[in-house]
Amino acid sequence: MRPRAKVVRNGHRPAAPVSWGHHGGGWIEAVVGSMFSGKTQELIRRLRLAAIARQKVQVFNSALDVRYAKDHIVSHDLSKTPSIAVARARDILSRVEPDAQVIGVDEVQFFDDEIVSVCERLADEGRRVIVAGLDQDFRGEPFPVTCRLMGVAEFVTKNLAICSICGNPANRSRRLSPGKKVIDVGAADKYEARCRRCFKKG
């Protein structure tokens, strides 16, 4: 038997349902890409739309991301939204409010491996989970945590930046300063978006 299409009766829904419909709802959206591809901007946009719909939103970031104020996530265009900085992925579970419907996680590549099961658990509970993060490190190697989240997510959005050398679509982040650390927190002064070809040229 074909499942019946869900009927949305505007005006007859509570303002802030804990989950969507009778089937529990819950899913993961991954917004990934290189530096300067607008990932955090896109995350903030989705969270704001949810807040306009009076859904309860909570945002988390890693305590490792110290570029800006710790109690906010901030995109390069300086739009910002309050967030809770946590040291470990599992800390999200103890800080999440029981009635939070939409959970945002920024710079997800900074988290430990457990972030994958944490996001799955939140989605299984009927919440909408939106993660944003880098898909590749400065060497052009995929970030395992981001890739695993892309694998389990219902929706994946891959953003591209613009190559700062040739203007083509760019999906890599070239580090301008020397150093071998895979995670090096920084922004415009340390990184540049590069296309595949210009990334190889160094």
Catalytic (active-site) positions? 107
Length reported for the chain: 202
What DSSP character marks residue 128?
E
**Sign of dihedral through CA atoms 32, 144, 103, 10?**
positive
Contact between 161 and Zn ion per CB under 5 A: no
Given candidates 74, 150, 153, 163, which one binds Zn ion under the rule CB under 5 A? 163
125: which 2 tokens?
A: 């509970």
Q: Report how many residues bind Zn ion under the rule CB under 5 A.
A: 6
Edge-to-edge strands, sheet with 27-33: 84-86, 57-62, 102-105, 128-134, 27-33, 155-159
Name the residue nearer to Zn ion (CB basis): 149 or 163. 163
**Any residues with CB less than 8 A from the CB of 63 and at least 6 apart, and which?**
70, 85, 86, 87
Contact between 183 and Zn ion per CB under 5 A: no
Contact between 166 and Zn ion per CB under 5 A: yes
Name the residue nearer to Zn ion (CB basis): 103 or 195. 195
Q: How far is the C-alpha of 10 from the C-alpha of 57, rounded, in Å? A: 21
Contact characters 116-155, Zn ion, x per CB under 5 A:
----------------------------------------
Name the residue nearer to Zn ion (CB basis): 110 or 199. 199
Interacting residues with Zn ion (CB under 5 A): 163, 165-166, 168, 195, 198
